[in-house]
Amino acid sequence: MTRGGHHGAQELIDPFGRLIEDLRISITDRCNFRCTYCMPEEGMKFLPRSEVMSFEEIERLSRIFVERYGVRGIRLTGGEPTVRAHLPLLVEKLAAIEGVNGPVDLAMTTNGATMRHLAQTLRDAGLRRVNISLDTLDRPKFFEMTRRDELDNVLDGIEAAKEAGFDPVKINAVIERGVNDDEIVALAEYGRRREVEVRFIEFMPLDADGHWENAQVVGQDEIVETINATYPIEQMPARGAAPADRFRYLDGRGSIGVIPTVTKPFCGDCDRVRLTAEGQFRTCLFETREFDLMSAMRAGESDDEIARRIEAAVATKWAGHRINQVNFVRPAKSMSQIGG
């Protein structure tokens, strides 16, 4: 589903008129954490190396999206992107891609544990933005949630990202009822103090253990009311295609975001598509269908042929996920296997 667009490029437009401008690429399904809301403690089966997209394959698909379809943003994720060997080389390759909308806006989501060692190199290689995940400021709780004793390294990694010049550094905090919902204000305070934007994420049904229940979701309204009671906030103008609703502190000390996937789905404004580490194309985090671009590439298909596959897939993008409906079917893959 394309139409002639800006300066001769095509645009990827889905059946509901949404323009696809953002590509999330999982570059590995491996991770050095085992967050309870994402991965199992033991027994995770990782892809063999030969089934993971090579840097050349990632670059090739990225070029198609950016050069052919004017995609503006690419976000690297996983698994944990920083465990992929030679990551700065990949960043360098991708940062050099320029489409009709200019150089690609290259971002990464990471758990931050090794950012002290990597931040400057990644920045120099052309990475523009980072989001770092941090769900709690309490060391035992951090261990309970991630099954790793890495809180100090993550906090230091956030400082390293700031020192390397990433601006803004955003923090992703998944809030789970009965686990870390007592830390909403503490996390907001951390953001104010360290001048980073904390984005509170509603817990989604993508945990590997399949334990997700609606009752564990702390919704946007509750998060906003909780913060507002201590630090008054007001909603900022409409988010556009970005997933976070933003709120600013009335005292001028920054802002927060809330990603209300479950209680206030924002599918109507979705401009995102995804590639898993094994080169499967997905049009929604919660889709059960995937389109196999890896086999197409390895069978020697041309860019034109692969582009046709991408267009056919985008033509199936649904109006929205069905988390709140009785006929919701969880994807067989968990968040770390899809790429959050």
Nearer to ligand SAM, 62 or 109 (CB): 109
Quote the CA–CA distance of 240 and 244 in Å, as a whole number: 9
Please state the closest distance from residue 153 (CB atom) to ligand SAM, in A.
Answer: 13
Quote the CA–CA distance of 180 and 244 in Å, as a whole number: 20
Cβ-proximal residue to ligand SAM, closest one:
340
Angle at 241 (CA atoms; ends 312, 233), nearest 5 degrees: 155
DSSP string spanning 241-265?
T-S-EEEEETTSS-EEEEE-TTTS-
Please state the closest distance from residue 64 (CB atom) to ligand SAM, in A.
Answer: 23
Q: Is 196 exposed, middle or buried (0-12, 13-18, 19+ CB in 10 A)?
A: buried
Please state the closest distance from residue 136 (CB atom) to ligand SAM, in A.
Answer: 11
Please state the closest distance from residue 207 (CB atom) to ligand SAM, in A.
Answer: 5
Please state the closest distance from residue 115 (CB atom) to ligand SAM, in A.
Answer: 11
Picking from 109, 104, 79, the residue whose alpha carbon sits closest to that of residue 93 is: 104
Residues in Cβ contact with 182 at an 8 Å cutoff, skipping those fewer than 6 apart: none
Picking from 313, 288, 314, 277, the residue whose alpha carbon sits closest to that of residue 25 is: 277
Token pair 């390294």: residue: 153
Nearer to ligand SAM, 32 or 120 (CB): 32
Quote the CA–CA distance of 260 and 241 in Å, as a whole number: 13
Token pair 């020192």: residue: 163
The 3-state DSSP class for residue 103 equals strand
Please state the closest distance from residue 202 (CB atom) to ligand SAM, in A.
Answer: 7
Nearer to ligand SAM, 21 or 135 (CB): 135
Nearer to ligand SAM, 27 or 310 (CB): 27
CA separation (Å) from 281 to 25, 71, 217, 337?
9, 15, 28, 13
Nearer to ligand SAM, 65 or 212 (CB): 212
Please state the closest distance from residue 82 (CB atom) to ligand SAM, in A.
Answer: 8
- Positions that interact with ligand SAM (CB under 6 A): 31, 37-38, 77-78, 80, 109-111, 133, 172, 174, 201, 203-204, 206-207, 335-336, 340
Quote the CA–CA distance of 116 and 156 in Å, as a whole number: 7
Nearer to ligand SAM, 62 or 336 (CB): 336
Please state the closest distance from residue 176 (CB atom) to ligand SAM, in A.
Answer: 8
> What ranges make up the beta strands (E) of the chain?
2-4, 10-12, 22-26, 73-77, 98-99, 102-103, 105-110, 129-133, 169-175, 197-202, 233-235, 245-249, 255-259, 272-275, 280-282, 291-292
Token pair 């399949």: residue: 210
Nearer to ligand SAM, 31 or 90 (CB): 31
Nearer to ligand SAM, 72 or 274 (CB): 274
Please state the closest distance from residue 208 (CB atom) to ligand SAM, in A.
Answer: 9
Nearer to ligand SAM, 76 or 100 (CB): 76
